[in-house]
Amino acid sequence: MIYNEAEALCMLGGNETKVRSLLEEAVRPYQPGYSCTLSGDALLEEVKLYKRFDLWGEGRHYFDQKRWNVDMVRKSWSEGGNWHPTLAGSGSTGGSYSRTGKNNWCICIPNKETDYNKLINYNKLINYNIEPENWTKDSPQQ
């Protein structure tokens, strides 16, 4: 939650002193001498970086990238990344994913959910532009 608060303060143009204090509070347990003197965009990038370090493997980075509207880039070992070359290619098995275009980066609802929940009409979901900027209280539910 510290990183969420720090990110929110950065994005709202809030108190940078408070952001630096929150970041130092989060980082110092494993990096005792850490001190942050950054400001502006560099401070936000530092918050993003340490959030990614701390929460690696927790499954949160996907939602961060989606919220920040940045592409997912998977680099192979030869490119300095950590992906096997067959998974670092483009397409459905790996590679780079752009946030442009309708329904990119959408998580499919499992068949068990759509099969046994009459309130989910999968056909309407896949044909509806479900990007967050288009959400309304009147979005289709059936």
In sequence order, what DSSP letters do the residues of 29-95 get, joined into one string?
TTSTT------HHHHHHHHHHHHHHHTTTSS-HHHHHHHHT--B---BGGGTSSB-TTTSSSSTTSS
Band (142; pLDDT cuts 50, 70, 90): very low
Give residue-wise pLDDT tens across range 33-53.
Answer: 999 999 999 999 999 999 999
Backbone phi and psi for residue 72, each to the nearest 5 degrees, phi listed first: -95, 125
Give residue-wise pLDDT tens across range 86-118.
Answer: 777 654 445 666 766 555 666 667 777 777 887
Torsion of the alpha carbons at 121, 122, 126 and 132, rounded to the nearest 10:
60
Domain range list for the chain: 2-68, 71-99, 101-142
Give residue-wise pLDDT tens across range 24-34.
Answer: 999 999 999 99
pTM exceeding the 0.85 threshold for the entire prediction: no
Kindly state the tokens that stand for 77: 């070992």
